[in-house]
Amino acid sequence: MKDWIREDIKAISAYHVQDASGMLKLDAMENPYGWPEPLKQKWLEAMAQTQMNRYPDPSGSAIKEKLRAVEVIDEQYEILLGNGSDEIIQIVAMCMGRPGDVILSPLPSFVMFKMISTFTEKQFIGVPLLPDFSLDLDAMLRAIDEHQPAVIFLAQPNNPTGNLYSKEAVEKVIQAAPGLVILDEAYRAFTDANGVELLAKYDNLAVMRTLSKVGLAGLRLGYLIGHRSWLDEFEKVRLPYNINVLTQASVAFALDHYDVLQQQADTIKQQRALLMEALQNLSTAEPFSSEANFILCRFPQGKANTIFEALKQRQILVKNLHGSHPLLDECLRFTVGAPNENQQLIAALQEIVF
């Protein structure tokens, strides 16, 4: 039976999610805050109105309208809804290029770009970032020229490094791209950078966002904003009921109360500055500045694995990136949590590294 499984699928390992039961979760860029109790009650009342015996609205038109308003998206652009932005990446990869054609992104970056390229029988090309995690523009332009990628993914800001690429470099990449460029703005709530402003200038650009990092990771809603000529084609590949009724109803409710999520994001940004300062004060830590809700941090030679395990023993789960890419040697990634969570992390680090 196993002979029927594609060799390239057999060769990869499954996306691994760490067991987090009972742990302080600072590994996955989740928003640490819930909703105030009265809001939760209102949401429950809204949920009671949803009809789970009916199929969802296939177009998700109600939440698209609310997204337009909250994110200020002009009517000339289309919106494609996905079960998380992971599904958007999959839809785009399915639609673009022929088997063996190239999907390109800088490395290190979001791992799903490469995984989904494999799933969809595309060839993934990764172009190393410079040691300061900026785009190696010369290398990018050479790779684009050589491989003629169908799609280029740029996470802006990048995960797991947290930095923004310069606007000039991003525009040079878009100008050189023979196919489509997707700006992945998963961390839009934590930065001023806004790729939607570039859509008017470039026909071969689309902007991908998600509600996951701003506080609704469990609902699974990602979306692509772009020109109709591309999105009308992608829409054909989207499965008709990919956004379930509970997600549609909950997202509609959440977007009606977006000020709550926005305030939480602002608090996380303030906490990011405090966590940054605290990490800088640890003499052995080298934190990298971040435009997202996490901070990448390098430790001295041979220390990352030890610190990761010592944090785990203290019931604090972070992301260990050591060994995942040469540029991430001795690096751990910390999600910015609630104030008490960040204090717990810092206290633990002070114990461990000194």
Ligand X SMILES: *Cc1c(COP(=O)(O)O)cnc(C)c1O
Q: Which residues bind ligand X (CB under 6 A)?
A: 29, 84-86, 110, 155, 159, 184, 186, 210, 212, 217, 222
* Closer to ligand X by Cβ: residue 159 or 248: 159
Which one, 31 or 212, has the nearer CB to ligand X? 212
Q: What is the spatial distance between Cα 145 and Cα 302, in angstroms, rounded to a whole number?
A: 38
* Buried b or exposed e, range 236-262, using 16+ CB within 10 angstroms: eebeeebbbbebbbbbbbbbeebeebe
Residue nearest to ligand X (CB): 84
- Helices 245-256 & 258-280 angle (0-180, nearest 10): 80
Q: Which two tokens stand for residue 312?
A: 């785990």
- DSSP three-state, residue 75: coil
Least separation, in Å, of the C-beta of 159 and ligand X? 4
The helix or strand, by DSSP H or E, that contains position 308, with its residue range, turns out to be helix 304-313
List, in order, residues 6 or more apart from 270 with CB less than 8 Å away: none
CA distance 206 to 257: 27
Q: Least distance from C-beta 352 to ligand X, angstroms?
A: 26
Distance between CA atoms of residues 222 and 30, nearest Å? 15
84 vs 149, beta carbon nearer ligand X: 84
Q: Encoding tokens for residue 272?
A: 């990011």
Measured from the CB of residue 163, what is the shortest distance to ligand X in angstroms? Answer: 12
Which of 199/219 has CB closer to ligand X? 219
Using the minimum distance from each CB to ligand X, give the nearer residue, 212 or 344.
212
| Distances from the Cα of 31 to the Cα of 26, 142, 216, angstroms | 10, 38, 8
Nearer to ligand X, 162 or 287 (CB): 162
**Tokens describing residue 216:** 């609704």
Minimum distance between the CB of residue 284 and ligand X, rounded to whole angstroms?
27
Nearer to ligand X, 207 or 348 (CB): 207
Residue 10 CB, nearest approach to ligand X (Å) = 25
Q: What is the CA radius of gyration of the chain?
A: 21
CB of 353 to ligand X, least distance (A): 27
* Residue 206 to residue 209: CA distance in whole angstroms: 10
Task: Please report how close the Cβ of residue 133 comes to ligand X at its closest, in angstroms.
Answer: 14
By beta-carbon proximity to ligand X, the closer residue of 212 and 290 is: 212
Burial level of 338, CB count in 10 A (0-12/13-18/19+)?
middle
CB of 216 to ligand X, least distance (A): 9
